[in-house]
C-alpha cells in the first residue's frame, strides 16, 4: 500500500504487473489500476486468475467496487462454477455494501436474491463470502436489515446444512443490539439524478 502511494495511479503498468503472476505484484495492481479504465474483459481475465481469497478480496475492495462494470459483474460472476470467480461476486457485493454510497436499496435487494441462490454452495470460500455479503447488506440501513433478517431466517430453517449455517450465523449479527443501534443512526442517501 505504501509503495502504491509512491507510484500513484499507473493503469499502464497494471497489466504487466498482473502478468508476472507474483502475489505481491498482483496485490499492487489492486491499488494502482484505474477503475475507470478497467474494461469488462480485463476484469473477467483477472478474475479467472484468482486462486486465493486475499487477492480476490483485495481486488474487490480496492479496485473492482469502483469500476463502472461493478454491478454487472456481481450478477455475472454469481453463477460461475469456479470457486474463486463465484467468491468474487459476493466479495464484490460485500464491498459495494460498504463503499457504494449511491447504490439503491433495490440493487441490494437484487443482491439478496443472488445470495439466496448461492446459499447451498458448500465450497468454503464461496459460503464464507455469501455469508459476509448477507451480513454486510443487512447492516446498510433499516430497510435492508429487515430484508436480510427475513432471508437469514429462511436460510436458517433450510434443510441444506450450508444454507442453514449461512442464515443462522448472519442472523446472530443482524439482530444483535449493536447492529440494531447502528442502523437506527444510518442516514439514507438518495441516489443522484441521472443527467
Do residues 82 and 121 make contact, with C-beta atoms less than 8 angstroms apart?
A: no
Mean pLDDT, to the nearest integer, of 173-189?
A: 83
Looking at the predicted structure, is the pLDDT value of residue 10 above 80?
no
Q: Which three cell numbers stand for residue 10?
A: 499507473
- The pLDDT of residue 187 is above 70: no
Q: How far apart are CA 114 and CA 50, in angstroms?
A: 21
Tell me which of 108 and 9 has the higher pLDDT: 108
DSSP string across 49-78: H--SHHHHHHHHHHTGGGSTTHHHHHHHHT
What's the pLDDT tens digit per position in 84-98?
999 999 999 999 999
**What's the average model confidence in pLDDT over 112-128?**
98
Q: Would you state the pLDDT for residue 195? A: 43
Query: Distances in Å between the alpha carbon of 144 and those of 94, 150, 161, 167, 176?
Result: 13, 10, 25, 15, 15
Q: What is the mean pLDDT of the chain?
A: 93
> Taking residues 39-51, what's their average pLDDT?
97
**Could you tell me the pTM of the whole model?**
0.90
190 vs 103 pLDDT, higher one: 103
Helix axes 124-137, 161-174, angle to 10 degrees: 30
| Residue 99 in this model has a pLDDT that exceeds 50 | yes
Q: According to DSSP H, which parts of 33-141 are helical?
A: 40-49, 53-62, 70-77, 83-99, 105-118, 124-137
pLDDT band at 4 (very low <50, low <70, confident <90, very high): low
Residue 132 clears pLDDT 70, i.e. is over it? yes
Amino acid at each position: 500500500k505504501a509503495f502504491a502511494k509512491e507510484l500513484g495511479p499507473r493503469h499502464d503498468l497494471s497489466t504487466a504487473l498482473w502478468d508476472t503472476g507474483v502475489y505481491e505484484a498482483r496485490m499492487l495492481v489492486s491499488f494502482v489500476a484505474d477503475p475507470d479504465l478497467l474494461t469488462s474483459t480485463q476484469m473477467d481475465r483477472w478474475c479467472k486468475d484468482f486462486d486465493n481469497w486475499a487477492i480476490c478480496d483485495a481486488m474487490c475492495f480496492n479496485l473492482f467496487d469502483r469500476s463502472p462494470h461493478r454491478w454487472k459483474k456481481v450478477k455475472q460472476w454469481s453463477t460461475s462454477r469456479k470457486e474463486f470467480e463465484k467468491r468474487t461476486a459476493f466479495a464484490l457485493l460485500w464491498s459495494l455494501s460498504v463503499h457504494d454510497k449511491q447504490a439503491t436499496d433495490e440493487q441490494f435487494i437484487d443482491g439478496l436474491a443472488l445470495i439466496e441462490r448461492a446459499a447451498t454452495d458448500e465450497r468454503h470460500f464461496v459460503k464464507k463470502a455469501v455469508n459476509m455479503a448477507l451480513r454486510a447488506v443487512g447492516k446498510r440501513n433499516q430497510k435492508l436489515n429487515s430484508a436480510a433478517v427475513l432471508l437469514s431466517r429462511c436460510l436458517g430453517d433450510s434443510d441444506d446444512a450450508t444454507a442453514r449455517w449461512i442464515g443462522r450465523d448472519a442472523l446472530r449479527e443482524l439482530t444483535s443490539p449493536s447492529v440494531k443501534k447502528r442502523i437506527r443512526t444510518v442516514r439514507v442517501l438518495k441516489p443522484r439524478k441521472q443527467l
